[in-house]
Amino acid sequence: MGKIVMSDNVQKRRGFIFPPYILLLFPAVSFMLLVYAYPFVSSVLKSFINKEGALSLDNYFKAWDLYLKDILFTFSITVFNTIASGIVAILLAVYFRLHESPISRFLLNLYRLPIFIPFVVVAQMMNSFLAPHGLLNVALAQLRLIDLNNPLQLFNFIGLSFGFIWKLAPFTILIIYGGFQMIDNSYIEAGRSAGAKWFKLITRILIPMNKPSIMVALVLIYSQIVGTFTLPYMLIGGKIPTTITVDIAHRVNYFRDFGVANALGVFSYILVFVTAIYYLKTKVKEVK
């Protein structure tokens, strides 16, 4: 659909010249449309079909009724962790870019490790690390910082956030630092010799020049947090509230209820789409 409209526009503007980007985009876009369009459209359609097979909004009412708390919980988890990971990542990436030393080079490699650990492993690791009698609490108790009869309770928002940031901040660092590397030293030197302090250097030069990478990194981790199942499942599980992904698995595994599952999917898609619109707006500003 989109492609037909697109070439129409092009023809109006440029006559019959074949724009080169069509050729460049063609393999990737046609791949996506071929493989993804049918399953996606059919999923969305199923969310509008009720148990009797008729067209209705029943699934949405049910999802809203049973899982509103979870939808809000997912949204707050996602927003908080995207921002938190973003801040941590920008600070560290700035440090790596501006300060060359053996320690910074070592840390740059150290912070890559979590990227390579799949979510399912992170989930398990965090489960045994953050548990009331897990490694963290036991270690703190050995140091006499807490009492094991009253350990830190981390199977909640805080623990979940720790897990997400642990895994996703390094991912963000890699993208943002990659962008920082491309900023020529001369800009930074110029800023420094003009007497710019660290803070100004960051907000006036590094971040603006690297905005595309930062935005991309944020949207990517945002959508990953919305879609992650294992980490919330293993840390929060059946507690209330939990995340949308846990609810979807529950609907599908126990009821084979793809209607409500897909309705929840549409909700989570909307969560991502909201960021999409935000992203779109900032991009429009950029062009102006």
Min CB(156)–other proteins separation in Å:
10
**Residues between 243 and 282 with contacts to other proteins, criterion CB under 8 A:** 244-250, 252-256, 258, 261-262, 264-265, 268-269, 272-273, 276, 279-280
Q: Quickly list DSSP for the chain.
A: -HHHHHHHHHHHHHTT---HHHHHHHHHHHHHHHHHHHHHHHHHHHTTB-TTS-B-SHHHHHHHHHHHHHHHHHHHHHHHHHHHHHHHHHHHHHHHHH--SHHHHHHHHHTTGGGGS-HHHHHHHHHHHHSTTSHHHHHHHHTTSS-TTS----SSHHHHHHHHHHHHHHHHHHHHHHHHHTS-HHHHHHHHHTT--HHHIIIIIIHHHTHHHHHHHHHHHHHHHHH--HHHHHHTTTSSS--HHHHHHHHHHHH--HHHHHHHHHHHHHHHHHHHHHHHHHHHHHH-
Min CB(162)–other proteins separation in Å:
9
**CA atoms in the 13 A half-sphere facing the CB of 52:** 5
145 binds other proteins (CB under 8 A): no
**Residues between 173 and 192 with contacts to other proteins, criterion CB under 8 A:** 174-175, 178-179, 181-183
Sole window of 17-25, 49-57, 78-86, 199-207 interacting with other proteins (rule: CB under 8 A): 17-25
Residue type at 233 in one-letter notation: Y
How many residues at the interface with other proteins, by CB under 8 A?
120
87 binds other proteins (CB under 8 A): no
Q: Do 191 and 200 meet the contact criterion of CB atoms below 8 Å apart?
A: yes
Sole binder of other proteins in the list 18, 83, 239, 278 (CB under 8 A): 239
237 binds other proteins (CB under 8 A): yes
- Mark 89-128 with x for binding to other proteins (rule: CB under 8 A) and - for no binding: ------x---x-x-xx-xx--xxxxxxxxxxxxxxxxxxx
Which residue, 84 or 219, is less far from other proteins as judged by CB?
219
Which residue, 29 or 80, is less far from other proteins as judged by CB?
29
Sole binder of other proteins in the list 93, 94, 131, 206 (CB under 8 A): 131
Sole binder of other proteins in the list 49, 138, 146, 152 (CB under 8 A): 138
46 binds other proteins (CB under 8 A): yes
Q: Which residue has the tokens 């962008």?
A: 179
Min CB(158)–other proteins separation in Å:
14
79 binds other proteins (CB under 8 A): no
Min CB(16)–other proteins separation in Å:
16
Q: How many Å apart are CA 14 and CA 62, to the nearest integer?
A: 50
Q: Do 164 and 79 meet the contact criterion of CB atoms below 8 Å apart?
A: no
84 binds other proteins (CB under 8 A): no
Sole window of 42-50, 53-61, 72-80, 191-199 interacting with other proteins (rule: CB under 8 A): 42-50
